[in-house]
Structure 1
């Protein structure tokens, strides 16, 4: 069903704010370039009107915290089906980009910038050339789509093609104009699809989840071992994928740069820091690490916890990190690569787990 926006004043006699429009989609593109958080707080804009080399220009290009690329296409005056087809065509170009190509795109977009340094400043972690552009997703920006095009996007999404639509609507109240937005699909699920369609040999998912635990200034692995939890926070990109986990799922946990440190069974759904309890007490009153305490009342940036019954866990000094093991910066994913199956088989042997 096509998405429609409505905006109302908050008062004892609410009134509907009339819909308006942009002067042009060029105005929206300019706004996004000036304030990329209009699209997402978790993306770093790296390119604009980039020539694909075969008769087209990508409207906008961004990087996600895991080094995956986000191709952003504005509907402009094309029909909905035309813009979907065009975006998929451009995605075939994006998939072939090498690290040097991406660095060159960024230099054209920001001549005084350095993509590695700016990525580190933006996300607080180094840009890994080995995983840069391992996957990508498509985002179509539109005021509306017809029902048949929405069905196409849903169809592609159900088959692990990472594509989404971001709807924008303009409203005018007095002399002030407001911009609202709504996603067609859950961004977290599209993020998962992007991981599932990463480069490399594919195979059916083995039913085992991968988890990335960011041990450091914000959270502590030894506390997670002791009290039985998995955690992430600081933004929707980091916590969206935690919703993949359900009770009784099994998750293999890796600390970036160190290796795999545990495997456990999920015993509950993700909960915000302020709602999560440890031994009958508020988690933040028990734990000593930070866990984004300053965002405890912010639903998007708050730390989230998943209770885990550890089957096997080891200290950081005993982390397993063999050559060729699967790694990803998404907090949780369901990998469909050959390396994930061999990784799990290796970990079962190293952790002494039969099944």
Structure 2
């Protein structure tokens, strides 16, 4: 089913803005070069017009915070089916790239387009706040394909849905529409498939097809007060969409196992509510319901800032703890699962082992 986009100006009555054609999709590519958040705020752009071994050029290459590669193809003057086939063809080349090749792709990109960081390691650390050589990062473990277009025919949409649903291929479409209001021009975007679903599909395909055990992993950032999270009952993430978006995966009743990176596992609990901005959260205290910054805290919580945009804000999820320990008694053993995502659904035997080991250590059924 074709996706239709619209923008309305709100006043005495809504006025629909006039749609205008996007005469040259290279204009969109230029905008992406200035800010890849136009496509996805969770990506790092690493290449433009990347030459493959079969003498074709990938429009754009990006990485996500797990080190997975995103192949981005603009439709331009290609037919919808051609651009989908081309993206899959490029993926057959990308899948074999090693760390040194990806690093060289970024180095050339940074040199030609004068990026602020000349190495992939520096750019990755600046963008995601974690070192590329971290044990939690595996470069090019999985990849996604994204077709960028103003519209696709129904047949091509069916092909993309089929590849995702039945062939387990992580391919998505991102639709853009342009609008005009007087002298102002605007872009609107819509995903064909939720980007979180596509990322999860790519990660699942790269794993050993191990069934998820139903238990959620949570990474609690070392720059946050675990003592206050224990006392008030919450987990948290934020500062960028990459860190806060996965909190939305959780629903009331889910069980979460909390790890502090480089420290160890410190708690398990049951989610009791939905994700909420930290500056809007309220907690039960002896003096009534209070905001986080009104509560008696054992350490400052600087992330609570109403002026932050929704993308950069800190978010909390309320949790009823089953068992917690302080940092000094964290469970940190060789062979336990670790990941930098704030929340994830691990599909690996190591996660089964981790949950069983924590159940034993904390006497939890």
Of residues 283-292 and 113-122 in structure 1, the stretch that sits farther from structure 2 once superposed is 283-292
- Label 1:239 to 1:196 Cα distance change in 2 as closer, same or farther (>3 A): farther
Which residue of structure 2 lines up, in the alignment, with residue 203 of structure 1?
A: 210
- Does residue 108 (structure 1) correspond to residue 108 (structure 2)? The answer is yes
Change (3 A) 1:163 1:332: farther
Alignment gaps of 5+ in structure 2: 112-116
What is the alpha-carbon root mean square deviation over aligned residues?
Answer: 2.4
Q: Give 1:183's aligned residue.
A: 191
Residue in 2 that maps onto 1:22: 22
Which of 323, 326, 336 is the matching residue for 1:315?
Answer: 326
Compared CA separation, residues 128 and 183, structure 1 to 2 (3 A): same
Q: Secondary structure at the match of 2:70?
A: strand
> Which stretch of structure 1 is more off in the superposition, 167-176 or 139-148?
167-176
Q: Determine if the alignment matches structure 1 residue 282 to structure 2 residue 287.
A: no
User: Mean Cα displacement is larger for which, 267-276 or 8-17?
Assistant: 8-17
1:65 to 2:65 alignment: yes
d(CA) in 2 for partners of 1:291, 1:90: 44
1:118-197 alignment, distance < 5 Å: 118-128=123-133, 130=135, 131=137, 132-158=139-165, 161-197=169-205
Aligned to 1:19, what secondary structure does the other structure show?
A: strand
Q: What are the Cα deviations for residues 67-104 of structure 1, in whole angstroms up to 9, with x where unaligned?
A: 22222111222222332232233223323222211110
Alignment counterpart, residue 305 of structure 2, candidates 284, 294, 298: 294
Cα distance change of structure 1 residues 291 and 211 upon mapping to structure 2, 3 Å threshold: farther
Deviation of 1:26 after TM superposition, in Å, equals: 1.9
Alignment: residue pair count: 351
Deviation string 1:121-145 (CA, Å, 9 cap, x unpaired) is 2233222365222333222211012
Shift of 1:285: 1.8
Q: Distance in 2 between matches of 1:299 and 1:27?
A: 27
2:223 is equivalent to residue 223 of structure 1: no
Q: Does 2:7 correspond to 1:7?
A: yes
Q: Normalising by structure 2, what TM-score?
A: 0.87
Residue in 2 that maps onto 1:336: 347
Out of 303, 311, 326, the residue aligned to residue 337 of structure 2 is 326
- Whether the aligned pair in 2 keeps the contact of 1:291 and 1:303 (CA below 8 Å) is no
SS of the residue corresponding to residue 85 of structure 1 reads helix
Report if aligned partners of 2:234, 2:316 keep a CA contact under 8 Å in 1. yes
> Residues 161 and 313 (structure 1 numbering): CA distance in 2 closer, same or farther, change over 3 Å?
farther
How far apart are residue 231 of structure 1 and its match? 0.8
Aligned equivalents of 1:157, 1:227: Cα separation in 2: 41
Match of 1:91 in 2: 91
Relative to structure 2, which stretch is displaced further, 158-167 or 99-108? 158-167
2:250 — aligned with what? 245
TM-score (norm 1): 0.89
* Shift in Å, 1:55: 4.3
Q: What's the CA shift for 1:15? A: 4.1
Query: Residue 171 of structure 1 aligns to a residue in which SS?
Result: strand
Closer, same or farther: CA 158–224 of 1 in aligned 2, 3 Å: farther
Alpha-carbon spacing, 1:321–1:77, altered in 2? closer, same or farther (3 Å): farther
SS of corresponding position for 1:294: coil
For structure 1, which runs of at least 5 residues remain unmatched after alignment?
A: none
Structure 1 90/193 Cα, relative in aligned 2: closer, same or farther at 3 Å?
same
